[in-house]
Amino acid sequence: MPWQVQAFDQLEESDLQRMMAFLRRFMAPEADPAWSIESFRWKLGESNPAGRGFLTCAMVNDEVIGVTSVTSKRLWFRRQVIRGAEIGDTFTHPAFLRKGNRRERILSPHISPEEQRAAYVRHSVFGRLVSETRMRALKAGVRLVYGTPNMSSLRGYEKRLQFLSHPTHRNHTFVRPTVRGLSKRYAIGQMLAWPLRGGEWFFDRLTACRLACDVRGRYTVERFEHASSEFDELWDRVREQREFALVRDRAYVHHRFFASPIAAYRVYGARVDGQLCGMMVSRIVTRPGGKRYCYIADWVIDERQPHLFAWLVTHTLLDHDRTDIDAYHLWCGPQRQRHTVLRWLGFVPTSSSPVIFFQNDDGNAVMQECPVLDFTLASSDNV
């Protein structure tokens, strides 16, 4: 059926209602509320300190059959703040995915790569939505566009839409299972589960005691209930330690975590001699099937403070009731020292995923100049 593209950048209620009616057709009833009217208004609207975002939908007879968004971000690159954006929320109605001979004709080797890209954008709902949304963002002053696509859409981004995966940075997923989660997965009975829980408790306390000996009372950790000016001071001290990162100042912490309409986060701060030297954020998510995961979503670490990352991760683990959680998750870049710490704390690497950048001047510069990115789950809006 013929379809056309329409910008929903004004976030009108009627437009968002049509979009959500489409998305809910493919969402499990117990799915995380990341796709909701409230979440789109929050991250794409005026409250975002990085600026308004961009939302594009494909339409057939006034009904939505595809969606893509670009969320504005403030990025730290080349020792300055630039306006960047994350492309995501891409979903196309299965009936409008390209199949069969039509796909072979569009991707024919007998036409040039430029003609193939143009044909792909003309005929592909996904390609057209990504291209138009990205184009509006760049025209509005966004200098760098990145994304974290799944494997089903990665090929389209790289082959036809002028994105490339970062050559050296990948987001490594680390998982620490709990006895609760293992019991569900392997049908472990209560008779065996109880001693395993005792071993789990003992391992957590032993790890904390060993780490406490290393830090020797250097750090104190507290929960924050709001974003204070201390987050500005922390970011100003640590930003020079990074080549590429999201700007994680007070405005970011407030909008991303405390003002979120869809999620409850725990924000921890570590102090040394009374001064804030690190931050870590966690969130509990209930997935389909009743599985509950604790995600370590974000952190800001003063790299000059020894064992601070390990101390904050340990505190986050102990602050949650592991008997109510199936596993802990986080993303970590290719920093070997961090990997060693996570393994020591009981985490296991399970997979890795790329970060893609649009191939303009700034996107290519990041891939050439920054071998490792300061990138967490919260950098991707996945959690």
> Is residue 55 pLDDT above 70, yes or no?
yes
Name the maximum alpha-carbon separation found in the chain. Answer: 68
Tell me the CA distances in angstroms from 166 to 103, 137, 245, one per residue in order: 27, 21, 14
The DSSP bridge partners found for residue 327 are 177, 293
The CATH classification of domain 4-161, taken from the options 3.10.20.30, 3.30.43.10, 3.40.630.30, 3.40.50.920 = 3.40.630.30
How many CB atoms sit inside 10 A of residue 239's CB? 17
CATH architecture of 172-354+365-380: 3-Layer(aba) Sandwich (3.40)
Give the global pTM. Answer: 0.92
CA atoms within 13 A on the CB side of 7: 13
Structure tokens at 114: 């430029």
274-326 pLDDT per residue, tens: 999 999 999 999 887 889 999 999 999 999 999 999 999 999 999 999 999 99
Numbered ranges of CATH 3.40.630.30 in the chain: 4-161, 172-354+365-380
| pLDDT value, residue 373 | 97
- 372 vs 114: which has the higher pLDDT: 372
| pLDDT value, residue 104 | 39
Torsion angle (degrees, nearest 10) of CA 8, 10, 13, 18: 0
Alpha carbon 166 to its chain centroid, in Å, reads 16
> Is residue 237 pLDDT above 90, yes or no?
yes
Q: Are 142 and 86 in contact (CB under 8 A)?
A: no
250-280 pLDDT per residue, tens: 999 999 999 999 899 999 999 999 999 999 9
Dist CA 21 CA 43 (whole Å) = 19
| pLDDT value, residue 234 | 98
59-89 pLDDT per residue, tens: 999 999 999 999 999 999 999 999 999 999 9
Dist CA 26 CA 22 (whole Å) = 8
> Is residue 100 pLDDT above 60, yes or no?
no
Residue 280 sits at φ, ψ, to 5 deg, of -145, 145
User: For residue 101, what pLDDT band results from cuts at 50, 70 and 90?
Assistant: very low
User: For residue 113, what pLDDT band results from cuts at 50, 70 and 90?
Assistant: low
